[in-house]
Amino acid sequence: MAELAQQDSGHKKGKKKGRKKMSTKIDLTPMVDLGFLLVTFFMLTTTFSKPQTMEINLPVKEPIEKPEDEPGVKASKSLTIIMGEDNKLFWYMGVTTDPLEGPIGTDYTSEGIRKVLLEKNATIDGLIVLIKPADKSVYKNVVDILDEMNISNIQRYALVEITPEDMDLIKNL
């Protein structure tokens, strides 16, 4: 612990008796030990932030045959979102092959695709959204559109491969 070391300043004959000079040496070893104990305590008792992840259910590699009595998805309940290059986004309802009645362009803002998703989810019961990223679309946009699905409270959506017909639809837009 802390101690004060005293030195005997022997006095000689003929000299005046004075005060004894004391050395003020303090041992700091216990304070360093206490510091390490505190650092160890806080390191062991703290909780580290856990990374937040998004759950994605990936499809099974083997094709699953659909039973004959199971009904297919109605085109009137499906919304297709095509993600193009240069942050372009297109959507259409049902099935379309005509470029004139084809996809409608929009953006990733709250007045763009979010407004469309909220409107369609409110009016169509059991809406199914098909998300089709093009080969040159950006990964950030895929994450953004998945976030929009959660924000819009859409329960049924899937990431599917873009078809050549869809690429032809957005080629000239």
Q: Is 29 helix (H, G, I), strand (E, B) or coil?
A: helix
Q: Is 165 helix (H, G, I), strand (E, B) or coil?
A: helix
- Is the pTM higher than 0.85? The answer reads no
Tens-place pLDDT, residues 127-171: 888 888 888 888 888 888 888 888 888 888 888 888 888 887 777
Tens-place pLDDT, residues 74-116: 777 888 888 888 888 888 887 765 555 667 888 788 788 888 8
- Does residue 33 sit within a domain? no
Residue 25 CA: distances (Å) to CA of 62, 71, 76: 79, 89, 88
Q: CA-based diameter of the chain, in Å? A: 123
Domain extent at residue 85: 75-171
- Does residue 125 sit within a domain? yes
The pairing of beta strand 89-93 with beta strand 104-106: antiparallel
- Does residue 82 sit within a domain? yes
Single-letter amino acid code for the residue at 100:
L
Residue 13 is encoded by which pair of tokens? 């004959």
- Does residue 144 sit within a domain? yes
- Does residue 153 sit within a domain? yes
Indicate the pLDDT class of residue 34, thresholds 50, 70 and 90: very high
Residue 4 has pLDDT above 90, yes or no: no
- Does residue 60 sit within a domain? no
- Does residue 28 sit within a domain? no
- CATH number, residue 106: 3.30.420.270
CB atoms within 10 A of CB 138: 14
Domain count, the chain: 1
pLDDT at 39: 94
